[in-house]
Structure 1
């Protein structure tokens, strides 16, 4: 990789937002996070490190439906999913349905870097995390909290309330990376997986584009997910915005709602959603980091 004199990033804190609710705490947090991403990318940080740290921050703060902000499944405990992909090497890692892992995205990166596998699930993922010294939540009853904008009524399974966090980045060496993490649908069936832990569905990065998705995972899986955006760019020669819009249209056609963030090797950023809004931040060379929800 060589210096390309440009960089860019985008973050999302989930597309499951409700008009009229107050997301100011999440906006303030994302603004701080965006400024940190801008500073570190400008200083030469690697895209893979940027997306890892950004998602870790969103997992631990409890403001989003991931990590600390996750809700229990239908039998009363939290299952966590995360995936990460390094576009420069086309390597990826994920964990799925793992119980009480403190930093799911760090666990996903460990799977990528320290195992021969791409995905580990449930008890196998938990055993791997313990073997590699990753931290677990000591007291689940006191650790987890309702994230910003979520009320008790949203915990009903029938509401299909959901959320996810994610980050995509292009660094000064032209490397792309993407990362995504979630606690899944509120009150989900034990063992349910959405798109987040599936490389190519919730997360994708290659030499052309990095993508992270948020929304109803079943619809994103059936619509082709994050890798569909990359294929539209690579094989269909579609502009990034058109490729992202195409995936969102397919998600909507499958009765799904959600959003997508993406960045390409030229530093272009695209963000699209078909829900009421999406907690998001973005920036890059020559641009002031920006935050929005609706």
Structure 2
């Protein structure tokens, strides 16, 4: 019999711009948090919930992920994603993937249909084609870049979701189009297990921000290790990881949910877009900022 609290956090990316309304994103995130609540209350697995929510974020065109991704300097769309099951630590990821609607669906296929954790480039495309995942037939018309007007090379909309289900299972998923105007072949932290995405029996984590710094600090894995070995709360551990990111010169945000329903969504960027389903059933959504 299920007796565990349910909880979920999703993010629409770290970094917000002054004098720009994020009302559509906030409304969308709030709606998705409501969908996640219904799914979790019906007993659906955390892994299925995070995949479903990230897919909805991908196809919305509101974030720098999926449909909202921007092209690299060769005018090609290379996308990354990862998903991880905290109970088994099984994980799947795709990197520099082109031509498919949902990188997170492809990441799940890597996890469940191959002996590998990550497939990149044409290998990821080949797997997606094998399982008949939905293709992007015309990138020029499909993608609606959610980029800032002057295309500054910052990530403003990586998406992610972490969840705890009623059986105590944790899962995490992250998807991104990467930094704007990135070099072809660039892979950020998002698909790297332990850097941008992590889940175990203690916590589920998804990161957003300047990926290179999250890679160099092993942000998600570091936070998870501090929870496991130092018995810190998810918030304490994620804040420490962000301080290390900052020490290296980067910024961003981290969302996390612990096995007891503890919620964390700290950030050290200009802001972060997120929504939260608390164990008591409350839902909040908004653009977090330092004002």
TM-score grouping bracket, smaller chain normalisation: over 0.9
Give the structure 2 partner of residue 151 of structure 1.
148
Task: Describe the superposition over 1:237-277 as per-residue Cα deviations: whole angstroms up to 9, x where unpaired.
Answer: 11221101001101111111110000000001100000111
| Local SS of the residue matching 1:220 | helix
| Local SS of the residue matching 1:13 | strand
Task: Describe the superposition over 1:164-200 as per-residue Cα deviations: whole angstroms up to 9, x where unpaired.
Answer: 0000000000000000000000110000011001111
Give the structure 2 partner of residue 66 of structure 1.
65
Which consecutive unaligned segments of at least 5 residues does structure 2 have?
Answer: none
Does the 8 Å contact 1:80/1:100 carry over to 2? no
Task: Describe the superposition over 1:101-122 as per-residue Cα deviations: whole angstroms up to 9, x where unpaired.
Answer: 2100000000000111100000
Does the 8 Å contact 1:75/1:190 carry over to 2? yes
Give the structure 2 partner of residue 36 of structure 1.
35
Does the 8 Å contact 1:94/1:111 carry over to 2? yes
Q: Does 1:166 align with 2:160?
A: yes
| Local SS of the residue matching 2:93 | strand
Does the 8 Å contact 1:195/1:225 carry over to 2? no
| Pairwise CA distance, 1:286 | 1.2
Give the structure 2 partner of residue 203 of structure 1.
197
Q: TM-score, normalised by structure 1?
A: 0.96
Give the structure 2 partner of residue 14 of structure 1.
13
Give the Cα–Cα distance (whole angstroms) in 2 for the partners of residues 41 and 62 of structure 1.
25
| Pairwise CA distance, 1:161 | 4.0
CA RMSD of aligned residues (A): 1.1
Give the Cα–Cα distance (whole angstroms) in 2 for the partners of residues 291 and 146 of structure 1.
23
Q: TM-score, normalised by structure 2?
A: 0.97
Give the Cα–Cα distance (whole angstroms) in 2 for the partners of residues 271 and 151 of structure 1.
24
| Local SS of the residue matching 1:235 | helix
Give the structure 1 partner of residue 86 of structure 2.
87
| Local SS of the residue matching 1:26 | helix
Q: Aligned to 2:253, which of 238, 259, 275? A: 259
How many residues get paired? Answer: 288
Which consecutive unaligned segments of at least 5 residues does structure 1 have?
Answer: none
| Pairwise CA distance, 1:162 | 3.9
